[in-house]
């Protein structure tokens, strides 16, 4: 399993050409994806063109970039000029954006090779990637189980070594939860640190783009490449981006770590609890000062999120009306029936459910009772984080209450599905930073994720804690048999 640093070094020294690397990963992705279905489409022409540009720069003696020659996959809700961007929805099945997302543009400016667009729950609404209009993605550790969601395709692509890294989006846990299920590193940055320009909106005050990688160092490098102010995004933070690699040290001397006691309650799988407590003890051995922290209002996070997120989704998805772009019903004989028939045919059941929930919460007579109250609770949850970070440098806990569940286990029970994100949602409501890193396996051999959280714009603290733990353990070095077998070919 080649790291970003190793791959950059090989390409820069001409040990391997970027074109050779691109072809290798495109071939591997094409071969493995018949089983995993991490990708909705590969982009060989674009990847090979980028690779040729990297090789040409190196031949001229120029710096080819931080991610020179690194194959990266991108969630299919990030716009790329001329490349279909479907959000895994029939309503956008043939949509080709006329503009480029800032995140993908920055990747290619730094030498990355974007090899394809990955599968997701439709419009990023889901926790299992079962809601895709184009079929589910399978977990590389056990093909009978889900990879998590909504960024399941991006997580599975990295776990299966079909890509060295990938980008996902996280609205309520959609990077961290699939990272946990697939045994990889998944990082959700501070809201506003990475531009959302070109990210198809689900819930605009919650969405954030971040990386999946096989190591914390690789996550730091990808974050370095995509972070920074963007005038095209009004919510982008005008801050200097530090060199995150400087935070990667192997001890935690003097670091204050708080474990959130409310996360260790009913509903947490015993194998997950044991693995997380063992991870906390590793941190103690590395010099961290461990203490229990209470965040009592986190329990309100789930209900608060599903009012705010669905309300914003209702507003954002109103644009898919069959008029401007995307699917259009051609048989309706008037405008209003065309709206209804287009949206009925184009949206899946989970998207319709969330649009209806959000529309109801925003309707006359209910706005104050639901949406306004949810925003007030959101403020209280953010205050819980501020109070906690006044005492500790980072917070820790499980990423998800269970390991990956089987296909179909939760599809007919939306509340059970929503509970998969119970530990990740509060962080999005507060807009602070969080990551999931591998910390063990359950009795069935499925990965367990350890969630580390830091205050806004303190990704350096988060990365230090994650890196020190990772270097003291071996969990991140394991790969599913499917990937290990492919790497030997």
Residues catalogued as catalytic: 75, 150, 174
Sorted by sequence, the CB contacts under 8 Å of residue 134 that are 6+ apart come out as 40, 86, 88, 119
Using alpha carbons, select from 145, 206, 229, 157 the residue that is nearest to residue 186. 157
Helix (H, G, I), strand (E, B) or coil at 78: strand
Question: Are 154 and 208 contacting, i.e. CB atoms less than 8 angstroms apart?
Answer: no
Q: Count of CB atoms within 10 A of residue 218's CB? A: 24
Give the CA distances from residue 133 to residues 36, 120, 176, 319, 406, in Å, rounded to whole numbers and listed in that order: 16, 9, 23, 19, 19
Using alpha carbons, select from 141, 148, 153 the residue that is nearest to residue 29. 153
Provide the total of helices (H) and of strands (E) in the chain, helices listed first. 16, 11
Q: Could you give the CA distance from residue 445 to residue 183 in angstroms, rounded to a whole number? A: 11
Q: Could you give the CA distance from residue 467 to residue 331 in angstroms, rounded to a whole number? A: 57
Question: Are 450 and 400 contacting, i.e. CB atoms less than 8 angstroms apart?
Answer: no
């Amino acid at each position: 399993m080649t790291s970003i640093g190793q791959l950059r070094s090989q390409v820069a020294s001409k040990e391997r050409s970027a074109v050779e690397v691109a072809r290798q990963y495109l071939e591997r992705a094409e071969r493995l994806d018949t089983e995993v279905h991490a990708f909705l489409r590969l982009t060989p022409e674009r990847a090979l063109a980028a690779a040729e540009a990297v090789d040409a720069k190196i031949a001229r003696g120029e710096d080819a970039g931080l991610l020179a020659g690194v194959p990266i996959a991108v969630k299919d809700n990030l716009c790329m000029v001329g490349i279909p961007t479907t959000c895994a929805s029939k309503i956008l099945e043939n949509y080709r954006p006329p503009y480029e997302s800032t995140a993908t543009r920055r990747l290619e400016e730094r030498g990355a090779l974007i090899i394809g667009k990955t599968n997701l729950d439709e419009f990023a609404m889901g926790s299992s990637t079962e809601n895709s209009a184009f079929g589910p993605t399978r977990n590389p550790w056990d093909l009978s189980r889900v990879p998590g969601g909504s960024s399941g395709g991006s997580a599975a692509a990295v776990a299966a070594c079909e890509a060295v890294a990938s980008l996902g989006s996280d609205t309520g846990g959609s990077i961290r939860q699939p990272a946990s299920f697939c045994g990889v590193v998944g990082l959700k940055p501070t809201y506003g640190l990475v531009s959302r320009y070109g990210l198809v909106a689900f819930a605009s005050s919650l969405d954030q783009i971040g990386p999946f990688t096989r190591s914390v160092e690789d996550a730091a490098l990808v974050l370095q490449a995509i972070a920074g102010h963007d005038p095209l995004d009004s919510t982008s933070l005008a801050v200097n981006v530090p060199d995150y690699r400087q935070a990667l040290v192997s001890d935690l001397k003097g670091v204050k770590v708080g474990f959130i006691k409310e996360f260790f309650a009913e509903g947490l799988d015993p194998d997950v609890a044991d693995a997380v407590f063992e991870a906390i003890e590793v941190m103690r051995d590395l010099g961290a000062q461990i203490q229990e922290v209470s965040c009592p209002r986190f329990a309100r996070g789930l209900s608060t999120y599903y009012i705010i997120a669905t309300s914003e989704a209702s507003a954002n998805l109103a644009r898919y009306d069959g008029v401007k772009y995307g699917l259009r019903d051609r048989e309706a004989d008037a405008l209003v029936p065309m709206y209804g028939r287009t949206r009925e045919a184009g949206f899946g059941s989970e998207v319709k459910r969330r649009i209806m929930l959000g529309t109801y919460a925003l309707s006359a007579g209910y706005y104050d009772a639901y949406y306004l109250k949810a925003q007030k609770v959101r403020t209280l949850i953010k205050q819980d984080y501020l109070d906690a970070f006044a005492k500790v440098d980072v917070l820790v806990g499980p990423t998800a209450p269970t390991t990956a569940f089987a296909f179909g286990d939760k599809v007919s029970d939306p509340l059970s599905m929503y509970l998969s994100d119970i530990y990740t949602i509060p962080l999005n409501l507060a807009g602070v930073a969080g990551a999931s890193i591998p910390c063990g396996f359950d009795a069935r051999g499925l990965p367990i994720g350890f969630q580390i959280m830091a205050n806004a714009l303190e990704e350096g603290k988060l990365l230090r804690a994650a890196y020190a733990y990772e270097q003291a353990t071996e969990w991140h070095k394991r790969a599913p048999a499917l990937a290990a077998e492919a790497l030997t070919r």
